[in-house]
Amino acid sequence: MIARPLFTAKHGFFASKEYLSSNPIIDDLERLKRADWLTIDDSREIVVYQQGKEVDTINLKPRLIVNDIQALVDSVGRGLGVASLPLRHAASNSNLIHILPEYYRSDRQAFLVYKDRKYQPKAVKALVEAILATAQNMDAAVNPNTSNKEPT
C-alpha cells in the first residue's frame, strides 16, 4: 500500500448560534468541558493546546457520535452541541461560531491510500495526481504557510 499525505486539518471548537443562546456562556475551558459534546469517533479525550503547548484535556461523554464529518457539521449547525471541527469544514457553515479560538486540538493529517501496482494504468496515475493537486490547493486556502509545498 502507498500512503501519500493529502492535507493537514487544523481544528477548532464550534457551536451554533442557537446552542450558544440557549446554554451557559462558554468563556473558559471549564465551561467548554461541561458542554454537550458531539464527536465523529469513539475517542473519549481531546488534548487542548494553546500557542503550541498542551494546556488541558477534555474528557468527553458525547451526546452524539456520528461517522461522517458532514453529519457532524450539520448536527453542530442545528444546535445539538459543541464539536471539534476542521476549520475547512466549519468555514462553509455561517451558523457556526468558533468558541475560544485561542485553544485548539492537535492538527490531523489526512492521507490518500492506494494499492501499489507495478504497471498501474495511466488513468489511475492521473487520478492520484489530480487528487493530490486538489488537496494541495485546498490546504493552501486554509493553511497559507503550505501554499508553496510540492506534493510528495
Tell me the one-letter amino acid at 105: R
Per-residue model confidence (pLDDT) at position 144 = 55
Reading the block at residue 127, the C-alpha cell is 487520478
Reading the block at residue 42, the C-alpha cell is 469513539
Residue 121 reports pLDDT greater than 90: no
Mean pLDDT within 130-152: 63
2-6, 8-12, 50-54 — most confident range: 50-54
Pairwise pLDDT comparison (72 vs 119), residue with the higher score: 72
Is domain 7-108 given the CATH code 3.30.390.50 in the classification? no
Residue that has been written with the C-alpha cell 493546546 in this structure: 49
CB-based burial label for 147 (10 Å; 0-12, 13-18, 19+) = exposed
Per-residue model confidence (pLDDT) at position 79 = 95
Beta bridge partners of 97: 15
Per-residue model confidence (pLDDT) at position 149 = 43
Domain boundaries, the chain: 7-108, 111-146
Asked if residue 83 lies in contact with residue 14, where contact means CB atoms within 8 angstroms, the answer is: yes
Residue 122 reports pLDDT greater than 60: yes
Residue 137 reports pLDDT greater than 80: no
Mean pLDDT within 65-92: 92
Per-residue model confidence (pLDDT) at position 139 = 63
- The CA distance from 107 to 36, in Å, is 22
CA dihedral sign, ordered 32, 53, 101, 82: negative
Mean pLDDT within 85-112: 90
Residue 147 reports pLDDT greater than 80: no
Position 150 confidence tier, pLDDT thresholds 50, 70, 90: very low
Which of 15-24, 103-112, 132-141 shows the lowest per-residue confidence on average (mean pLDDT)? 132-141
Residue 34 reports pLDDT greater than 60: yes
Per-residue model confidence (pLDDT) at position 21 = 95
